[in-house]
Amino acid sequence: MSKNNLEEKIIQSLALKSNIKQLVCSNNEVVFGLMKETLTEIVDDYNQQLKNLKERVGLEFTDHGKFIAKLRIAGDMLVFSMHSNIFEFDRAHKIWEINYVKDDPLNSYCGIINIYNFLDDSFRYKRLDDLGYLIGRLFINKNNHFFVEGKRQMGFHYKNFGKRLLDKVAMRSILAKAMAYALEFDLLVPPYDAVKIASVGQMTEKIHITQVKTGKRLGFQFNSDDVMEDEENS
Protein backbone atom coordinates (compact mmCIF):
# COMPACT_ATOMS: atom_id res chain seq x y z
CA MET A 1 0.00 0.00 0.00
CA SER A 2 1.39 3.37 -1.03
CA LYS A 3 1.90 6.25 1.38
CA ASN A 4 -0.99 8.20 -0.14
CA ASN A 5 -3.36 5.22 0.04
CA LEU A 6 -2.37 4.54 3.63
CA GLU A 7 -2.91 8.15 4.64
CA GLU A 8 -6.28 8.17 2.87
CA LYS A 9 -7.30 5.03 4.75
CA ILE A 10 -6.26 6.59 8.06
CA ILE A 11 -8.22 9.77 7.32
CA GLN A 12 -11.34 7.79 6.33
CA SER A 13 -11.07 5.66 9.44
CA LEU A 14 -10.65 8.69 11.68
CA ALA A 15 -13.59 10.47 10.06
CA LEU A 16 -15.89 7.43 10.35
CA LYS A 17 -14.96 6.54 13.91
CA SER A 18 -15.04 10.14 15.05
CA ASN A 19 -18.55 10.57 13.65
CA ILE A 20 -19.78 7.35 15.28
CA LYS A 21 -18.22 8.17 18.63
CA GLN A 22 -19.71 11.66 18.62
CA LEU A 23 -23.15 10.16 17.93
CA VAL A 24 -22.72 7.58 20.71
CA CYS A 25 -21.52 10.28 23.09
CA SER A 26 -24.58 12.39 22.32
CA ASN A 27 -26.88 9.40 22.88
CA ASN A 28 -25.14 8.61 26.15
CA GLU A 29 -25.68 12.15 27.43
CA VAL A 30 -29.37 12.05 26.45
CA VAL A 31 -29.78 8.69 28.19
CA PHE A 32 -28.11 9.99 31.35
CA GLY A 33 -30.51 12.91 31.29
CA LEU A 34 -33.41 10.47 30.92
CA MET A 35 -32.00 8.47 33.84
CA LYS A 36 -31.92 11.54 36.09
CA GLU A 37 -35.42 12.55 35.02
CA THR A 38 -36.70 9.03 35.77
CA LEU A 39 -34.93 8.99 39.14
CA THR A 40 -36.70 12.23 40.07
CA GLU A 41 -40.05 10.69 39.15
CA ILE A 42 -39.29 7.52 41.11
CA VAL A 43 -38.40 9.54 44.21
CA ASP A 44 -41.67 11.47 44.01
CA ASP A 45 -43.73 8.32 43.42
CA TYR A 46 -42.13 6.26 46.19
CA ASN A 47 -42.13 9.04 48.78
CA GLN A 48 -45.82 9.64 48.21
CA GLN A 49 -46.50 5.97 48.86
CA LEU A 50 -44.22 5.84 51.92
CA LYS A 51 -45.97 8.84 53.52
CA ASN A 52 -45.31 8.65 57.29
CA LEU A 53 -42.26 6.43 56.76
CA LYS A 54 -40.55 8.93 54.46
CA GLU A 55 -38.35 10.41 57.21
CA ARG A 56 -36.85 6.99 57.97
CA VAL A 57 -36.77 5.15 54.66
CA GLY A 58 -37.57 7.84 52.10
CA LEU A 59 -35.72 8.31 48.84
CA GLU A 60 -33.62 11.32 47.92
CA PHE A 61 -32.18 12.20 44.52
CA THR A 62 -29.13 14.43 44.11
CA ASP A 63 -27.90 15.70 40.74
CA HIS A 64 -24.13 16.27 40.80
CA GLY A 65 -23.86 17.64 37.30
CA LYS A 66 -22.96 16.20 33.93
CA PHE A 67 -21.40 12.92 35.02
CA ILE A 68 -22.68 11.93 38.48
CA ALA A 69 -26.06 11.45 40.15
CA LYS A 70 -26.96 9.82 43.46
CA LEU A 71 -30.05 8.12 44.84
CA ARG A 72 -30.36 7.59 48.59
CA ILE A 73 -32.69 4.73 49.38
CA ALA A 74 -32.99 4.00 53.12
CA GLY A 75 -29.43 3.14 54.26
CA ASP A 76 -28.09 2.68 50.74
CA MET A 77 -26.65 5.06 48.21
CA LEU A 78 -26.75 4.29 44.50
CA VAL A 79 -24.23 6.31 42.51
CA PHE A 80 -24.75 6.66 38.76
CA SER A 81 -21.60 7.59 36.86
CA MET A 82 -21.54 8.38 33.15
CA HIS A 83 -18.13 7.84 31.55
CA SER A 84 -16.93 10.62 29.29
CA ASN A 85 -15.34 8.23 26.76
CA ILE A 86 -16.71 5.77 24.20
CA PHE A 87 -15.65 2.12 24.27
CA GLU A 88 -15.49 -0.95 22.07
CA PHE A 89 -15.69 -4.48 23.49
CA ASP A 90 -12.63 -6.70 23.61
CA ARG A 91 -12.64 -9.58 21.15
CA ALA A 92 -13.28 -12.15 23.89
CA HIS A 93 -16.63 -10.55 24.79
CA LYS A 94 -19.69 -12.53 23.78
CA ILE A 95 -21.19 -9.46 22.16
CA TRP A 96 -19.25 -10.40 19.01
CA GLU A 97 -21.27 -13.62 18.72
CA ILE A 98 -24.56 -11.89 17.86
CA ASN A 99 -25.52 -11.00 14.29
CA TYR A 100 -26.35 -7.40 15.25
CA VAL A 101 -22.66 -6.73 15.84
CA LYS A 102 -21.34 -9.16 13.21
CA ASP A 103 -23.37 -7.40 10.51
CA ASP A 104 -22.23 -3.94 11.59
CA PRO A 105 -19.19 -3.87 13.90
CA LEU A 106 -19.78 -0.15 14.47
CA ASN A 107 -22.79 -1.17 16.57
CA SER A 108 -20.29 -2.31 19.19
CA TYR A 109 -19.16 1.22 20.06
CA CYS A 110 -20.89 2.11 23.31
CA GLY A 111 -21.15 4.72 25.99
CA ILE A 112 -21.25 3.46 29.57
CA ILE A 113 -23.17 4.46 32.66
CA ASN A 114 -21.97 2.64 35.79
CA ILE A 115 -24.19 1.96 38.80
CA TYR A 116 -22.43 1.62 42.16
CA ASN A 117 -23.88 0.61 45.52
CA PHE A 118 -22.47 2.31 48.63
CA LEU A 119 -23.70 2.80 52.16
CA ASP A 120 -25.35 6.16 52.76
CA ASP A 121 -23.37 6.53 55.99
CA SER A 122 -20.13 6.30 54.03
CA PHE A 123 -20.96 9.67 52.46
CA ARG A 124 -22.75 11.11 55.47
CA TYR A 125 -19.77 10.58 57.79
CA LYS A 126 -17.11 10.99 55.08
CA ARG A 127 -15.66 7.50 55.58
CA LEU A 128 -13.32 7.73 52.65
CA ASP A 129 -11.99 4.17 53.00
CA ASP A 130 -15.44 2.58 52.76
CA LEU A 131 -16.15 0.34 49.79
CA GLY A 132 -18.73 0.49 47.04
CA TYR A 133 -19.59 -2.16 44.47
CA LEU A 134 -20.38 -1.99 40.79
CA ILE A 135 -23.77 -3.68 40.53
CA GLY A 136 -24.53 -2.84 36.92
CA ARG A 137 -23.36 -0.99 33.84
CA LEU A 138 -25.54 0.27 31.04
CA PHE A 139 -24.23 0.24 27.46
CA ILE A 140 -25.75 2.53 24.79
CA ASN A 141 -24.77 2.57 21.11
CA LYS A 142 -25.26 4.82 18.07
CA ASN A 143 -28.79 3.49 17.46
CA ASN A 144 -29.84 4.03 21.08
CA HIS A 145 -29.93 0.27 21.54
CA PHE A 146 -28.74 -1.01 24.88
CA PHE A 147 -28.02 -3.86 27.22
CA VAL A 148 -27.05 -4.08 30.89
CA GLU A 149 -24.34 -6.18 32.47
CA GLY A 150 -25.03 -6.65 36.14
CA LYS A 151 -25.51 -8.66 39.25
CA ARG A 152 -28.26 -11.26 39.12
CA GLN A 153 -31.59 -9.57 38.25
CA MET A 154 -29.80 -6.45 36.99
CA GLY A 155 -28.83 -8.00 33.66
CA PHE A 156 -30.56 -7.54 30.30
CA HIS A 157 -28.89 -10.28 28.32
CA TYR A 158 -26.44 -9.20 25.61
CA LYS A 159 -28.20 -11.48 23.08
CA ASN A 160 -31.07 -8.97 23.06
CA PHE A 161 -28.74 -6.11 22.12
CA GLY A 162 -30.20 -4.38 19.06
CA LYS A 163 -33.80 -5.45 19.74
CA ARG A 164 -34.96 -2.68 22.03
CA LEU A 165 -34.58 1.08 22.27
CA LEU A 166 -33.76 2.65 25.59
CA ASP A 167 -36.98 4.46 26.46
CA LYS A 168 -38.45 5.55 29.79
CA VAL A 169 -40.15 2.19 30.36
CA ALA A 170 -36.85 0.35 29.97
CA MET A 171 -35.05 2.93 32.11
CA ARG A 172 -37.58 2.59 34.94
CA SER A 173 -37.13 -1.18 34.85
CA ILE A 174 -33.33 -0.86 35.03
CA LEU A 175 -33.51 1.53 37.98
CA ALA A 176 -36.05 -0.61 39.83
CA LYS A 177 -33.78 -3.62 39.48
CA ALA A 178 -30.82 -1.63 40.81
CA MET A 179 -32.87 -0.47 43.81
CA ALA A 180 -34.14 -3.98 44.52
CA TYR A 181 -30.64 -5.42 44.34
CA ALA A 182 -29.24 -2.78 46.70
CA LEU A 183 -31.97 -3.46 49.25
CA GLU A 184 -31.35 -7.22 49.09
CA PHE A 185 -27.56 -6.83 49.28
CA ASP A 186 -27.17 -6.75 53.06
CA LEU A 187 -24.28 -5.45 55.14
CA LEU A 188 -22.22 -8.31 56.57
CA VAL A 189 -20.17 -8.30 59.76
CA PRO A 190 -16.50 -7.95 58.73
CA PRO A 191 -14.23 -10.90 59.55
CA TYR A 192 -12.90 -10.69 63.12
CA ASP A 193 -9.26 -10.73 62.00
CA ALA A 194 -9.89 -7.67 59.81
CA VAL A 195 -10.83 -5.47 62.78
CA LYS A 196 -9.18 -7.11 65.80
CA ILE A 197 -6.32 -4.59 66.05
CA ALA A 198 -6.67 -0.82 66.22
CA SER A 199 -4.04 1.83 66.83
CA VAL A 200 -4.22 4.76 69.23
CA GLY A 201 -4.21 7.03 66.20
CA GLN A 202 -7.21 5.23 64.73
CA MET A 203 -9.16 5.49 67.96
CA THR A 204 -8.25 9.15 68.36
CA GLU A 205 -9.41 9.90 64.86
CA LYS A 206 -12.52 7.80 65.42
CA ILE A 207 -13.68 10.32 68.01
CA HIS A 208 -14.32 12.65 65.09
CA ILE A 209 -15.07 10.18 62.30
CA THR A 210 -15.16 6.40 62.12
CA GLN A 211 -12.10 4.83 60.50
CA VAL A 212 -13.17 1.19 60.31
CA LYS A 213 -13.48 0.37 56.63
CA THR A 214 -17.05 -0.70 55.88
CA GLY A 215 -18.55 -2.38 52.86
CA LYS A 216 -21.47 -4.65 52.23
CA ARG A 217 -19.29 -7.68 51.52
CA LEU A 218 -15.99 -6.75 53.18
CA GLY A 219 -13.87 -9.90 53.44
CA PHE A 220 -16.14 -11.94 51.21
CA GLN A 221 -15.81 -12.72 47.52
CA PHE A 222 -18.02 -10.57 45.29
CA ASN A 223 -18.43 -12.68 42.16
CA SER A 224 -19.07 -11.27 38.71
CA ASP A 225 -20.31 -14.52 37.17
CA ASP A 226 -23.90 -14.44 38.39
CA VAL A 227 -25.40 -12.35 35.60
CA MET A 228 -28.85 -13.57 34.66
CA GLU A 229 -31.19 -12.66 31.84
CA ASP A 230 -33.96 -10.17 32.38
CA GLU A 231 -37.12 -12.14 33.11
CA GLU A 232 -38.85 -10.23 30.32
CA ASN A 233 -36.37 -11.67 27.81
CA SER A 234 -35.81 -15.14 29.26
- For residue range 146-155, what is the model confidence (pLDDT) as tens digits? 999 886 666 5
pLDDT per residue over 165-182, tens digit each? 999 999 999 999 999 988
In this predicted structure, the answer to whether residue 123 has a pLDDT above a threshold of 60 is: yes
The pTM is what? 0.79
43: closest CA among 74, 82, 80? 74
Which of residues 229 and 115 earns the better pLDDT score? 115
Q: For position 141, what pLDDT does the model report?
A: 97
In this predicted structure, the answer to whether residue 66 has a pLDDT above a threshold of 70 is yes
Compute the distance between CA of residue 24 and CA of residue 85 in angstroms, rounded to an integer: 10
Contact between 61 and 71 under an 8 Å Cβ cutoff? The reply is: yes
pLDDT over threshold 50, residue 53 = yes
- The CA distance from 76 to 55, in Å, is 14
Cα–Cα distance measured from residue 106 to residue 19, given in angstroms and rounded to the nearest whole number: 11
Does the pLDDT at position 12 exceed 50?
yes
Query: Rounded to whole angstroms, how far apart are CA atoms 63 and 182?
Result: 19
Percent of the chain whose pLDDT exceeds 90: 48
Report the distance separating Cα 199 and Cα 11, nearest Å.
60
pLDDT at 43 over 60: yes
With a cut of 80, say whether residue 204 has pLDDT above it.
Answer: no
pLDDT score for 173: 92
Which of 69, 39, 73, 38 minimizes the C-alpha distance to 53?
Answer: 73
In the predicted structure, residue 24 carries a pLDDT above the cut 60:
yes
Nearby residues of 125 by Cβ (< 8 Å), 6 or more positions away: 209, 210
Assess contact for 57 and 193: CB atoms under 8 A: no
14-23 per-position pLDDT tens digit: 888 889 999 9
